[in-house]
Amino acid sequence: MIWISLIILAYFIILVPIQYNYIKILKTKQKKMNVSQNELYDNMSYEESQIHYHYQSNVFTIPASLVASIIYKVKHAA
């Protein structure tokens, strides 16, 4: 049972930086295009929206995505 917990913890630790970088790229793209978040998502191609869905909305990545989002907001709160 401890092995399963360690694997889940390792998966979480590995995913947080990946999710953080993805959020950072999205925010940079949003600023570069000078659009709102909704407009950015509306302007995404089908392929981009599917990639976004799998990065952000997958059940297994939601905890890491939430932590990465909090870290991003704390680092860029100015």
Each domain of the chain, given as residue ranges in start order, spans 2-75
Q: What is the pLDDT of residues 29-43, one digit of tens each?
A: 999 999 998 898 888
Mean pLDDT over each residue of the chain, to the nearest integer? 90
Q: Residue 78 — pLDDT band, cuts 50, 70, 90?
A: low
Average pLDDT, stretch 41-59? 86
DSSP string, the chain: -HHHHHHHHHHHHHHHHHHHHHHHHHHHHHHHHT--HHHHHHTS-HHHHHHHHHHHS-TTTHHHHHHHHHHHHHHT--
- Token match 């979480």: residue? 12
pLDDT over 70, % of the chain: 99
Distance between CA atoms of residues 40 and 42, nearest Å: 5
